[in-house]
Chain A
Amino acid sequence: MHISPVLWQFLVKWLNASALFPREASTIAPYADALYFFLLLITVVGLSVVGALIFGFAIRYRKEKHPVAVQVEGSTLLEATWTIIPLALFLICFVWGALLYFRIYNPPTNAMNIYVVGKQWMWKAEHQGGQHEINALHVPVGRPVQLTMISQDVFHSFSVPDFRIKREVIPGRYSTVWFQATTPGTYHLFCTQYCGTNHSQMIGEVTAMTPDDFQKWLQASTSGMSLAQNGERLFASMGCNACHTGTAGSRGPNLAGVYGSKLQLTNGSEVLVNDAYLRDAILNPSEHVTAGYSPIMPTYQGQVSEDGLIDLVEYIKGLNSNYRIQQTLVTSQSDQTAPTTPAGVKP
């Protein structure tokens, strides 16, 4: 964005007013648009050069004017020129595009995480406080938001044109994208990967709100249970706490504080524990056996939904001590002892 900001604002405003240009509603949008205008510029220049050559030559050397052609073999110099200049331009585009790509796909560490599950044909968004939304997503402006997304069935694609972001939502694998909304408003949310009959109905609205409004919205739409609380319940009801007790000599490894750590596995490899790893370890446990433990954990493939997995992942993520595990183990009736809301996920 090296054009003068005044000019830029003018250009974008004018384009917006003529409905030929999407709104710039995220911090990434100006970066994407800068590259877009650069590409547009070299396209127009390139097209003009080609057009000028064609029309110029066609007029100047038309048969009436130039009845006998002069044979020219070629010119290494000229050919080198139009090899090197386009190559250089394309390489600039490559570097610029790559920088933008990493800007869009590298979330900042302080981003607030929202889970998105795509299924035929709806978007489900799950906030950490347990607010569930369908075909809608409420986000605060001025705060980076990271989406951790997964599909329950086929490929979908999460696209918010006004934010200039898009990412495929893949079955069986988390994918992430982040953005920071700048202007309050509602924006289109599209599924852009063809996903079956009602593909074009798989749309929704992203509502960017001021932080205050967002807090109000969060409070108004809470379901009473945060994701982690749901996860805790699931953890108990599926009997995870039977092995992952966190006590010495337990059959399953200690889960407290495991998120973000490096784990040594029995097959010798070292892995970083992140969302994807936790999900995979629940579904394919025997391929992710922590060193020192035996592969006795059964697979939960097909027994827990993607939403449930998100709850579990979110629960394990926030697990700092084994106190609650042991407590639920004692009472073993977790859903009746309404757990107090952890401070971190206050709705």
Chain B
Amino acid sequence: MSATSSTIVNLPDQKTARLPKRSYLNNEDGLLSWLLTGDHKRIAIMYLISITFFFFIGGAFAGLIRLELLTPQPDLVASDTYNKFFSMHGIIMVFLFLVPSVPATLGNFLIPIMIGAKDLAFPKVNLLSWYLYWLGGLFTLAALVLGGVDTGWTFTTPLSTHYLNTHVVTAAVGIFIIGFSSIFTGLNFIVTIHRMRAPGMTWFRMPLFIWSNYAASLLMVLGTPVLAITLVLVALERTIGIGVFDPTKGGDPLLFQHLFWFYSHPAVYIMILPGMGVISEVISTFSRKRVFGYTAVAFSSVAIALFGFFVWAHHMFIMGVSNYSALVFSLLTMLVAVPSAIKIFNWAFTLQKGSITFETPMLYAFGFMGLFTIGGMTGVFLGALGMDIHLTETYFIVAHFHFVMVGGMLMAFLSGIHFWWPKMTGRMYPESLSKLAAVTTFIGFNLTFLPQFILGYLGMPRRYHAYPPEFQVLNVLSTAGATVLGVGYMLPLLYLGWSLRYGAIAGNNPWQATGLEWQIQSPPLTENFIEVPIVDHEAYDYEWLAHKTEQEVTTVG
């Protein structure tokens, strides 16, 4: 490895390299060995396949939405069909893709390995949560096949309870079940992180990926049940008419909003926090430096989780919450933005005095930082009370949360998938093609969603099937961007599939990263570690790694 090369990738000699004879992938054969497995890595792979499946279903709906919005007239589909498009897009993307995306795939795969454990604390519960995910997914698909749901993913009462004739209860049952899948995942992570750490793996030696997943897990465990009970009440209201959310019977429709957003606001942190964990790992690895201000980044995750429970009513500023309450929630919203700012700057300063290379995961991470900054700052627009009045319920808010969820979370997810792909499969993805995909995604994303900010300020309401013609130019831009974005997302599916067979053999540690997961073989053994590791160094200790490599060379070589 010459000092002037522009990459840190260090692959074994491809002529002699072989995948390990025994790994979690070939430890047992047959479909049943997968469907009944307790191995967190296999479950992670099953999750990866499942969420990819749902991602492309949700993505197809996104495509249809953008296609309809190409022209101002309601010409592609009827309005109730359009309403089903965005409802199914939201439900599938939020509950079946974003919430489980990083935790259930990368988290499942990596959390035990990163802390030096053989598996999650409750492997059977882990498998159960995958089955619950699918059961819930099947309910959602059933609602889709039977004719779809047109409540929007927010199930606003009394619309969802009294005024729609679609399969609301089926979808609610689906989400209820998926909620328990998410609860069990979170529960498993918390117990694992508390109880299963290897000797020497103290809290402040844990990789930041663990910290952020831990914070997200807390939110999953404490927030999701409130959504569950809310959906139960919605289903009861719809089937029996219990009146709790029905203004004609004395119920308060705003109560639904409170209970729904008590989960659904923390849910956005469930979505973004694990992504932030990925970014910490990637930035550190590709700048060969310990994350700047490790403690601050770790605590900011916990702070986001904690504050995350106290800001939900900012979704209801114009919905009739009391103005005093709006003040309090707006103030707290401003406070919750601070930890995110801390993270962004700490990542930026991690680059300082590093030795930076630009592999695909790093490109995605750069994309994340830029887009998340925009997403976060536009969140401040919406947190400022008076501005929120004009901006809420318009395309501004659509653009804002897509910047956070897609520009942030999905970028982080793709970054993580590329980063740990060699570990998960033992093979490298094709570098130049994946860089192309990263750039395509970034361009496509901005083209899709930047115009929507302008549309939002112009006042174009969200969930509109038809719109005034003067908004068309920006909508056409957005649709064009969505096409590019679609290509950007199809590419990884193709080349990652290709790499499963033809990718270069990665070896144990292609990035020369410090995490415990990189010190074992790729793909790992079922039991992860042959011997229980004892941790005697901080996370991201590149000197330790260099020292260790040196020793290996002298003793082995």
Please give the residue numbers on chain A whose beta carbons come within 8 Å of chain B beta carbons, in ascending order: 19-22, 31-32, 35-36, 39, 42-43, 46-47, 50-51, 53-54, 57-58, 61-64, 66-75, 78-79, 82-83, 86-87, 90-91, 93-94, 96-105, 120, 153-155, 157, 159, 161-162, 164-168, 170-173, 175, 188, 190-201, 301-302
Contacts and interface: CB of A to CB of B under 8 A. Distances in A.
Contacts of A120: 163
A72 B253 contact: no
B459 A161 contact: yes
A86 B338 contact: yes
Contacts of A74: 292-296, 346
A103 to B, nearest CB: 7
Interface in B419-463: 454, 457-459, 461-463
B21 interface: no
B159 A63 contact: no
Contacts of B543: 71
Given A61-B356, A192-B393, A94 B289 contact: no
29 contacts: A22-B459, A47-B370, A58-B366, A63-B8, A63-B355, A66-B355, A68-B3, A69-B288, A70-B289, A70-B354, A71-B542, A74-B293, A79-B345, A86-B342, A87-B334, A87-B335, A87-B338, A96-B384, A97-B386, A97-B387, A101-B326, A102-B323, A102-B386, A171-B247, A172-B248, A190-B459, A197-B79, A199-B465, A302-B248
Contacts of B295: 74
Nearest to B394: A192
Interface stretch (B58-66, B118-126, B375-383, B480-488): B375-383
Contacts of A46: 373, 377
Interface in B344-370: 344-346, 348-349, 351-358, 366, 369-370
Contacts of B462: 192, 194
Nearest to A301: B248
List the 7 closest A-B pairs by CB distance, nearest first. A161-B459, A100-B386, A97-B384, A172-B247, A74-B293, A101-B385, A57-B351
Contacts of B154: 194
Contacts of A42: 377, 380
Contacts of B330: 94, 97-98
Nearest to A171: B247
A53 B318 contact: no
Interface residues of B, number: 96
Contact of B355 (A67, A99, A175, A197): A67
A199 B83 contact: yes
Contacts of A47: 370, 373-374, 377
B337 A159 contact: no
B389 A61 contact: no
**Among the interface residues B150, B341, B373, B387, which one has the most CB atoms of the partner chain A within 10 A?**
B387
Contacts of B158: 153-155, 171
A120 B380 CA distance: 33
Nearest to A174: B320
Nearest to A81: B345
Contacts of B366: 54, 58
Interface stretch (B187-195, B199-207, B466-474): B466-474
Contacts of A99: 386
Contacts of A43: 374, 377-378, 380-381
B459 A159 contact: yes
Given A20-B454, A47-B370, A58-B366, A154 B156 contact: yes
Interface of B: 3-8, 74, 79-80, 83, 150, 152, 154, 156, 158-159, 162-164, 247-248, 253-254, 287-290, 292-296, 317-320, 323, 326-327, 330-331, 334-335, 337-338, 341-342, 344-346, 348-349, 351-358, 366, 369-370, 373-374, 377-378, 380-381, 383-390, 392-394, 454, 457-459, 461-468, 470, 473, 542-543
A35 B457 CA distance: 13
Contacts, number: 305
A54 B378 contact: no
Given A53-B349, A97-B330, A154-B158, A197 B356 contact: no
A78 B380 contact: no
A90 B342 contact: no
A15 to B, nearest CB: 10
B319 A54 contact: no
Given A74-B293, A94-B330, A57 B387 contact: no
B465 A200 contact: yes
Contacts of A198: 79
Nearest to B456: A161
Contact of B353 (A39, A66, A188): A66
B341 A100 contact: no
Contact of B370 (A50, A105, A154): A50
B386 A54 contact: no
A196 B164 contact: yes
A192 B393 CA distance: 6
A70 to B, nearest CB: 4
A191 B292 contact: no
A190 to B, nearest CB: 5
A74 B290 CA distance: 9
B320 A170 contact: yes
A301 B389 CA distance: 32
B173 to A, nearest CB: 22
Contacts of B459: 22, 159, 161-162, 188, 190
Contact of A166 (B162, B247, B393, B468): B393
**Among the interface residues B294, B378, B392, B464, which one has the most CB atoms of the partner chain A within 10 A?**
B464
A166 B389 CA distance: 6
B79 A199 contact: yes
A153 B373 CA distance: 39
A167 B248 CA distance: 21
A191 B318 CA distance: 13
A22 B320 contact: no
B354 A101 contact: no
A88 B466 CA distance: 41
B245 to A, nearest CB: 10
A200 B156 contact: no
B388 A97 contact: yes
A164 B5 CA distance: 55
A100 B389 CA distance: 9
B293 A75 contact: yes
A72 B334 contact: no
B342 A161 contact: no
A66 B357 CA distance: 10
A316 to B, nearest CB: 22
Given A62-B6, A63-B8, A101-B326, A170 B338 contact: no
